[in-house]
């Protein structure tokens, strides 16, 4: 549909053309969002159209993002789409995880099945397509790892130069390896995510590089498709809760916006509640939502779930709005809780990276406190693939995992590899026990 950029701040609401390369409102500095400027006449027919597209062999229809392009702001530019067949991620039942979380049933929407192994691909296909629309040749981001892997891949596919900035020593090797392999110029900066974001914004302005952090409203547009696809897979029956990890809070913003649009256009008639889970050592949004008052950044965020090691999340005003609209909840979880929940998800044959496991850890706390009921219909979004951070897995299972303060994370569900002699009798004896 036809669209514009609008300032997210209600007192301002200034409007800008959709092809203006801005990341904040030039009038008041607020966040920007995409708004549609026309009312669809055929929204009723979309569900059938989207279902029908799943049977097509055309690249754009095979994408679990672009299949829903009626709700994306790219009219007239579909020939410029850069896609790696993102989305199409499964809904998985996990009875053991449900039991651990205090629920009768849980479904995971596993974004780790994406081309680069995280939910960032849903947004990046739109971000890089917007770079093409704007005829930009260079794109950049700061990242805790997944955004950089995704941007590098999509820029590579589009033939653009990509420049990645990451906090030195604080991203997993799986993610760093992806950025290198996909050909991004990679800078490891001696600073944390929040500090590097400020640096990259200055550089992007000075050098005319297109910035692809989640402050970029087109990334948020693509991430809406996680919700569109989830509801399509559920025959448009909204769950009671959608649970996700919170870092920079871009995904929370995207999920809320997607749900609002589906309600507005009559595609769903009930609003699920969003539950955002943060790591206790990087939980500024949790603190803010619990205490109210001003938003205070955490100066030195700490967590082994490095994907969500963010102390000053840029999208908090949007996330506040979306949690209010959806009557949502926030929770925080410890390193031990994340590690154990992650091992449970692994035992279900599913697996995920540490940040993703905060969802199940959070659900366990939300059911314990009675905020979430056992019989409620819950979808938890696993944001990244199990192989993103193998070092963490090995350390947990062998009892070597230390929290950021040097304390031991107990291998509650540890599963150590065993060294054995090359001797059938000896091994048979061990297996008989
Ligand atoms: N889960 C994973 C696996 C992530 O990589 C991220 C964010 C989040 C959750 C949190 O999402 O920021 O939208 O609240 N990773 C970013 C990155 C910051 O640079 O890859 P959010």
Separation of alpha carbons 414 and 344, rounded Å: 10
Q: Could you tell which of 184, 221, 246, 383 is best to mutate to test the pocket of ligand 1, judged by most ligand atoms within 8 Å of the CB?
A: 383
Q: Is 247 in the pocket of ligand 1 (CB under 6 A)?
A: yes
Cα dihedral sign for 228, 230, 236, 241? negative
Ligand 1 atom closest to Cα of 147? 20
Contacts of 55 (CB under 8 A, 6+ apart): none
Between the CA of 427 and the centroid of ligand 1 the distance, in Å, is 43
Tokens of 84: 């790696």
Give exposure, 125-158, as e/b (b: 16+ Cβ within 10 Å): bbbbbbbbbeebebbbbbbbbbbbbbbbbbbbbb
Q: Is 214 in the pocket of ligand 1 (CB under 6 A)?
A: yes
Separation of alpha carbons 184 and 172, rounded Å: 16
Residue nearest to atom 19 of ligand 1 (CA): 143
Q: Is 278 in the pocket of ligand 1 (CB under 6 A)?
A: no
Rounded to a whole number, what is the largest CA-CA distance in the chain? 77
Give 10-residue mean pLDDT values along the chain (433 residues): 96 97 95 94 92 96 98 97 98 98 98 98 98 97 96 98 93 94 97 91 93 95 98 98 98 98 96 98 98 96 96 97 98 98 98 98 98 98 98 98 97 96 96 87
**Directed axis angle between helix 284-291 and helix 316-325, to 10°?**
50
Tokens of 160: 């653009």
* Of 112, 114, 115, 185, nearest in space to 148 by CA: 185
Between the CA of 45 and the centroid of ligand 1 the distance, in Å, is 34
Separation of alpha carbons 257 and 253, rounded Å: 6
Between the CA of 395 and the centroid of ligand 1 the distance, in Å, is 22
pLDDT at res. 80: 98
User: For residues 136 and 158, is the Cβ–Cβ distance under 8 A?
Assistant: no
pLDDT at res. 371: 98
CA distances to 85, 142, 185, 352, 395 from 67, rounded to whole Å, are 10, 29, 32, 26, 40
Between the CA of 433 and the centroid of ligand 1 the distance, in Å, is 44
pTM (2 d.p.): 0.97
Between the CA of 243 and the centroid of ligand 1 the distance, in Å, is 14
Ligand 1 atom closest to Cα of 111? 3
Ligand 1 atom closest to Cα of 310? 18
Separation of alpha carbons 137 and 161, rounded Å: 6
Helix/strand/coil for 31: strand
Ligand 1 atom closest to Cα of 319? 14
Separation of alpha carbons 295 and 395, rounded Å: 35
Q: Is 147 in the pocket of ligand 1 (CB under 6 A)?
A: yes
Cα dihedral sign for 277, 279, 285, 291? positive
pLDDT at res. 219: 98
pLDDT at res. 179: 97
Tokens of 374: 């056992």
H or E element in which residue 34 lies: strand 32-36
Beta strands in 288-384 (DSSP E): 329-333, 378-382
Q: Is 308 in the pocket of ligand 1 (CB under 6 A)?
A: yes
């Amino acid at each position: 549909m036809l669209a514009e950029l609008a300032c997210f701040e209600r007192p301002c609401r200034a409007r800008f053309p959709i092809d203006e390369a801005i990341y904040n409102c030039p009038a008041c500095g607020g966040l920007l969002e995409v708004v549609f400027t026309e009312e669809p006449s055929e929204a009723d027919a979309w569900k059938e159209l989207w279902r029908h597209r799943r049977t097509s062999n055309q690249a754009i229809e095979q994408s679990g993002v672009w299949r829903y392009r009626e709700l994306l702001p790219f009219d007239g530019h579909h020939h410029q789409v850069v896609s790696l067949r993102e989305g199409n991620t499964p809904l998985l039942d996990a009875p053991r995880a449900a039991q651990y979380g205090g629920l009768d049933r849980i479904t995971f929407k596993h974004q780790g099945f994406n081309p680069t192994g995280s939910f960032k691909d849903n947004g990046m296909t739109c971000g890089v397509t917007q770079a093409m629309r704007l005829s930009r040749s260079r794109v950049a981001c700061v990242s805790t790892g997944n955004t950089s892997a995704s941007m590098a891949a999509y820029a590579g596919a589009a033939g653009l130069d990509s420049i990645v900035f990451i906090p030195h020593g604080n991203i997993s090797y799986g993610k760093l390896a992806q950025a290198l392999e996909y050909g991004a110029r990679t800078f490891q900066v001696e600073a944390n995510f929040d500090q590097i974001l400020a640096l990259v914004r200055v550089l992007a302005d000075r050098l005319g590089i297109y910035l692809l952090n989640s402050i970029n409203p087109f990334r948020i547009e693509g991430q809406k498709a996680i919700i569109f696809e989830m509801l399509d897979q559920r025959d448009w029956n909204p769950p009671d809760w959608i649970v996700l990890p919170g870092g920079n809070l871009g995904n929370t913003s995207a999920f809320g916006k997607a749900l609002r649009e589906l309600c507005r256009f009559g595609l769903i008639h009930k609003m699920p509640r969003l539950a955002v889970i943060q790591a206790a050592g990087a939980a500024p949004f949790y603190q803010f939502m619990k205490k109210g008052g001003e938003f205070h950044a955490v100066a030195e965020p700490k967590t082994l779930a490095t994907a969500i090691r963010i102390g000053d999340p840029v999208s908090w005003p949007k996330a506040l709005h979306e949690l209010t609209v959806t009557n949502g909840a926030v929770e925080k979880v410890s390193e031990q809780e994340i590690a154990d929940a992650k091992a449970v998800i692994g035992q279900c044959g599913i697996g995920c990276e540490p940040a993703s496991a905060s969802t199940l850890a959070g659900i366990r706390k939300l059911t314990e406190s009675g905020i979430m009921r056992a019989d409620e219909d819950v979808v938890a979004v696993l944001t990244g693939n199990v192989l993103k951070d193998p070092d963490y897995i090995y350390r947990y299972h062998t009892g070597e995992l230390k929290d950021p303060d040097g304390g031991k994370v107990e291998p509650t569900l540890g599963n150590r590899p065993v060294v054995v002699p090359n001797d059938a009798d000896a091994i048979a004896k061990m297996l008989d026990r």
